[in-house]
Chains A and B, each alone.
Chain A
Amino acid sequence: MKKLILSLLAIASLNFSFAQTAEEIVNKHIEAIGGVDNWKKINSLVMEASIKAQGAEIKLTRTHLHNKAMRMDIAVMGMNGYSIVTQKEGWSFMPFQGQTKYEAMTPDDVKSSQDELSILDEFITYKELGKKLEFLGKDDLEGTECFKLKLTDKAGEEITYWLDPTNYYTLKQSQKVKANGKEMESVTTYSNYKKIDEGVVYAFSLGGDWGDTEINKITINPKIDESIFKPSN
């Protein structure tokens, strides 16, 4: 009996004192979001979402072919725009900003968008992409003590992640973006994590400077007509 109590106490204290390594945290994160196997079964996806602000709504649809192409359609106040990125090219048509015809992305923008072509969680692919992983210790995210991790790619671009220590979900990520000589910080928060039928877990609510995005529907491996990855007004 005494032994049992001691071992139970030992287990309990382990929870609180065991210093975890970056890789252990990442492994638990991957497990929490459905595991590598389930993620790697995803070849394509369509995500339907909306941004609501004071009752008004912006509709977003992301159509994605893993590592090949991605298209984001945006519908605002009766207007429709889109952005497309493929492995070699990219275009955007944003009539809300006064564009009357689609415009090609610069080669630099296409290059820097390549990471987004992966459907997989960054922590699944970081090793094969040669990114450096660092555990920056625990950090207070608005009252929640989180695991703080950083991934640095070969070009030196950094993304910092805050993971919920109770379930290993990403609560926030922060990325420094350097463009045209300016340095900007892009922050996204994640919540409303749900497991979908295919066994993977997605954050259905995203927050950022642009407002709160709610994902309404995710379709995994739908058949996608690849002609949508070409621009047309």
Chain B
Amino acid sequence: MKKTLSFIFLAICSMNTIAQTPVNSGMFGMFEARAMGPGTMSGRISAIVGTTSDNNILYVGTAGGGVWKSTNAGSSYKPIFDKYCQSIGAIAVSPTSPNTVYVGTGESNMRNSVSIGVGMYKSTDAGDNWKKIGLDSTEHISKIIVHPSNDQIIYVAVPGPLWSDSKHRGLYKSTNGGESWEKILYKNEQTGCADILIDPKNPSTLFASMWQFRRQPFSFNSGGEGSGLFKSTDGGTTWKEITNGLPPKPFGRIAMALAPSDPTKMVAIVESKNTGLYISEDGGNNWKNQSATMNVCARPFYFSTIEIDPLDAKRVYRPAFEFAYSTDGGYSFSGASGEGGWVHSDMHTLWINPSNTNVLFLGTDGGIYRSLDKGATWSFCHNLPVGQFYHVSYDMQEPYNVYGGLQDNGSWKAPSSAPGGIGNAHWWRVGGGDGFWTQPDADGKTVYVEYQGGNMQRVNLNTLKSEEIQPKQTKGEDKLRWNWNTPIVLGSQNPKNLYVGSQYLYKSTNQGRDWVRISGDLTTNNKEKQKQEESGGLSADNTSAENHCTIFTIAESPLDEQLVWVGTDDGNIQYTTDAGKSWKNVSGNYAKSGIPAGTWVSSIEPSHFDKNTVYVTFENHMYGDHQTYLAKSTDMGATWTRIQHSEFTGFAHKICEDLINKNLFFLGTEMGLFSTLDGGKNWFRMKNNIPEYALVRDIKIHPKTHDLILGTHGRGIYIVDDIRAMRNLTSEIWDQDVYLFPTPNITLNNGKMGWGGPDVSGGWYAGNPPEIPSINYYLKERLSTGKVELEIYDANNKLLQTLPGSKRKGINKVFWNLRGTPPRVADGSVKMEGAGFTAPMVLPGTYTVKLKVKDKEYSSKINCVHDTENKDLNETDRTLVYNKAMQIQSLFGKINDDIDTIRLYQTKLKADSTNKNNKAMNAELEKLRAELMATKQTSIFADEEKLREKVSKLYGVFCSMEAKPNDIQVKSIEALEEEYAEQAKKLKQVMDKFKPKINL
């Protein structure tokens, strides 16, 4: 019986072990990403909402960077939605309970690159905690309105899916604070609700605009019979279509506003065959066309915002291609002044402070602007790092630079580290337009950039002069088809090979000065998918975003420059093994693995370890399919295995194989970064300071620094510095309770860069990677009981320093400052004594680190090596500097010992203060003490310098010295030693004189 019982317990225990996921992001522990930003250029803003209770509080929704909150009217922002979907469509704050905030995910600026959402969220504590409250399948939400006096009533306008039919479109209402929803206005599976207005004075009156729209990979259509303007006077129970004075149908998207101070006054921009501005003065029943400029009426599917000042019915704002405002109720418009600086075009949202309507916040394709004069001038908020990168790359400089192209914000370059850390001022624009691939050449002087539709240049990084290098159509060729996001790729095996692709693949070996077309049409060349001229629907819209049947991804094998893979947006995968002389199309083979035929090939990663192995991501969201498609072939694409995991979310953009560990991969999708440590059997979502559902478009690993570099479409660039410990994490390690990683050799210096001063440019600040490598250890679980300490010993087994150890689950990092324990400082000081914080840097040699976890001890060696790159300090001089620093430390110790002796005597002498000799000795000791150390400091701005302060200062100089000391520096040690000898003599004299006479 007993045996049976223990068997059952064992079985239960082992069941639990099996049930646990063997690996997760917690294992990477303190390997947290550095958010590089930048804030120099920001990203698309989809919603800005303030609260009525505190006008300094703002909630900002972004196209791909989640929700940010400011509590200081935009001076700083913090992300508050990093565990959820990052594409935000709408935000609303309850007018009666300002801590209640609703977020509708899924932006509704329906451009080609718009992301998708997963429904509604609610917070009742001003954004600290969020709860999902339904409408999960809506994909895009354009507006949320909370009833002005009953916060249980909420209206949500749902345009719905962009790429497929859906029954989930329409206008929704909740009467119980979002617990349940009722669809109160619906037309058909192609028509959603684009906008909703509520009359604040009579909240039963609502206006809704319905919008029929659809995208396909190769065209966009805005408009149809489903579109229309509707009014309800019974809280949405019944609706009546409004047509009086409006243009003939069909309509496209309608932007509309009513004046809160006088809700009879309304304005609307109605997309139709003759898109125009319409004004109503009777609460929307009758409308009149009003002439307006192209700027006011342009691109209605993308510029769908018009607002009226809450206090002034005549002041109308139209944030669109550019900003326009009217002071006469919309009859005429003027543009903003440029005095406050350039304002990014393409505007989507405007918040007007209802308590001070001079103050406006404007959301554009390039971030947030703030106006203090009703939109006449604007200043940029350069602290919101929500840039939408398509790709990221690096060079081999020291420190290396990162490069990337952004949606509507050009192409940029910044160093990965800099004196003082990376701030906005370190970012440098190298290309304009919509930026995509930004590839630095191996020569260190050149970068290749592009803007939409494959318009590419070779840019000289010293002068920023650029030359157009795009291959052109030649005789006998079809018109060239360049993807919106045209690949510009350097060879992985031979970086002198530069590849670009239209429907043909081109190669240059002289920096784009000459091109050789090395393929025929590698796409399906399906003519039905090439009617971009017809794109747009009611308003023509053909910006190259709809170009199709194009090459989207190019990858040269890192093992063989003759082997090049190409993937197209219409599902072709082709490769050449002879540098383009012949091509093999293997796209007929992947459908058997469960990936739909014809699916967009988003990335190809030829293996670094086996020429026949290749990894490919596919994405099919433009056909309404959001599955994560990742496949592997080990036989040159003849057969494919789909790699699936329950953890995956979002359609896949990029698969990245590690350069060293063939079992380590990173997968970037529209909703997260995933990693596997076992070759793809088990995957986990990477968190580690990365938004959990980040739109990860590109992933690179730097071959020299071992940094993981991420390009996100909404949160800029992230760098996880030096992932070697992650790379070395194997099941032999993660099965152990504790594991101390070997520490790579540490070069002895004070870091590679100096301080650099405060970041004067302001804005987003990314800091630097650590200057000293960390000591890394793995803990299987977070420790809530027991102590963790690291002890560092020198070769003579002398304890140099004890460091507190962190106790996080996964890899922990502890930084040893390469120094011993600072000297003790005697009590009674009147200022902070710097010497007490430092010790000389250790000499080259082998040191032992002992990691103590609870009652167990783990040990490893650290080799500290001389910095041969520092020509100011040879090894002999290094030893000299160390010895001198220790000599001064010893002097500092003697002074403090004497001060302690004096204070001890003084305390005892005070016990009998009536004794004359006691008093006299005390006074003499105090005089001595005041010569040994500063005792009269009255302010931190009035330094008193006595012997100890002088010694401390010199000690600090030697402790931080990285050059041979000069003669005077060395001589000054002797001078201070002599000065001390004098003081010591005096102390002895006082002691000798008084000791026999005093009463202790």
Contact = CB atoms under 8 A, between A and B. Distances in A.
A183 interface: yes
Nearest to B24: A143
Contacts of A204: 787
B660 interface: no
Given A78-B825, A158-B125, A144 B837 contact: no
Contacts of A144: 26, 781-782, 809
Interface in B799-854: 801-804, 806-810, 817, 819-822, 825-833, 836-839
A214 B12 CA distance: 38
A111 B808 CA distance: 35
B836 A56 contact: yes
Interface string B658-679: 0000000000000000000000
A44 interface: no
Contacts of B821: 55
Interface string A211-223: 0101000000000
Interface in B129-157: 129
A52 B804 contact: yes
Interface in B175-206: none
Contacts of B231: none
A164 B839 CA distance: 39
A196 to B, nearest CB: 13
Interface stretch (A83-91, A114-122, A187-195): A187-195
A4 B806 CA distance: 43
Contact of A79 (B128, B786, B832): B832
A143 B832 CA distance: 39
Interface in A1-38: 1, 4-5, 8-9, 12, 16
A202 B505 CA distance: 67
B786 A142 contact: no
A77 B836 contact: yes
A148 B83 CA distance: 15
Nearest to A207: B806
Interface in B680-720: 687
A194 B810 CA distance: 23
Interface stretch (A60-68, A94-102, A224-232): A94-102
A143 B810 contact: yes
B1000 interface: no
B960 interface: no
A79 B831 contact: yes
A78 B827 contact: yes
A52 B786 contact: no
B802 A52 contact: yes
Nearest to A13: B12
A167 B784 contact: yes
Binding site of A, secondary structure by majority: helix, strand, loop or mixed? strand
Contacts of B833: 77-78
B29 interface: yes
B970 interface: no
B804 A214 contact: yes
A140 to B, nearest CB: 7
Given A78-B827, A160-B128, A205-B787, A100 B837 contact: no
Interface in A131-169: 136, 140-144, 148, 150, 158, 160, 164, 166-167, 169
B837 A77 contact: yes
**Chain A interface residue bracket vs B:** 35 or more
Contact of B832 (A76, A141, A190): A76
B785 interface: yes
A96 B836 CA distance: 13
Nearest to B692: A140
**Chain B interface residue bracket vs A:** 35 or more
Nearest to B818: A54
Contacts of B16: 12, 16
Contacts of B832: 76-77, 79, 96
Contacts of B24: 143
A127 to B, nearest CB: 21
A96 B825 CA distance: 14
Given A77-B833, A214-B804, A142 B822 contact: no
A198 B634 CA distance: 65
B748 to A, nearest CB: 16
Contacts of A98: 939-941
B29 A142 contact: yes
B830 A95 contact: yes
A80 interface: yes
A171 interface: yes
A142 B784 contact: no
B25 interface: yes
B753 interface: no
A114 B801 CA distance: 39
B125 A9 contact: no
A1 B25 CA distance: 41
A8 B801 contact: no
Contacts of B820: 55
A151 B822 CA distance: 42
A70 to B, nearest CB: 23
Nearest to B854: A192
B620 to A, nearest CB: 30
Given A79-B832, A95-B830, A142 B809 contact: yes
A79 B808 contact: no
B938 interface: yes
Given A54-B817, A78-B827, A143 B809 contact: yes
Contact of B12 (A4, A8, A141): A8
B12 A54 contact: no
Contacts of B5: 4
B333 to A, nearest CB: 38
B874 interface: no
B4 interface: yes
Contacts of B783: 191-192
B911 interface: no
Contacts of B15: 12
Nearest to A189: B807
B12 A171 contact: no
Nearest to A178: B71
B128 A78 contact: no
A12 B17 CA distance: 13
A52 B836 CA distance: 12
Interface string B22-53: 00111101000000000000000000000000
Nearest to A97: B940
B809 A194 contact: no
Contacts of A96: 832
B8 interface: yes
A74 to B, nearest CB: 12
A129 B4 CA distance: 51
B782 A171 contact: yes
Interface string B928-963: 000000000011110000000000000000000000
A31 B25 CA distance: 32
A144 B784 CA distance: 11
A190 B9 CA distance: 32
B801 to A, nearest CB: 5
Interface of A: 1, 4-5, 8-9, 12, 16, 52, 54-56, 75-80, 95-98, 100, 136, 140-144, 148, 150, 158, 160, 164, 166-167, 169, 171, 182-183, 190-194, 204-205, 207, 212, 214
24 contacts: A1-B4, A4-B5, A54-B822, A54-B837, A55-B821, A56-B822, A56-B836, A56-B837, A56-B838, A77-B829, A78-B828, A79-B829, A98-B941, A141-B782, A150-B129, A158-B125, A158-B128, A160-B128, A169-B784, A190-B784, A192-B783, A192-B807, A193-B785, A205-B807
Interface of B: 4-5, 8-9, 12, 15-16, 24-27, 29, 71-72, 125, 128-129, 687, 781-787, 801-804, 806-810, 817, 819-822, 825-833, 836-839, 938-941
Q: Which 4 A-B pairs have the closest CB atoms?
A: A143-B26, A78-B829, A98-B940, A143-B809
Given A16-B16, A141-B782, A143-B27, 13 more contacts: A8-B12, A54-B817, A55-B819, A56-B822, A77-B829, A77-B833, A78-B833, A142-B26, A142-B808, A143-B29, A144-B26, A160-B128, A192-B786
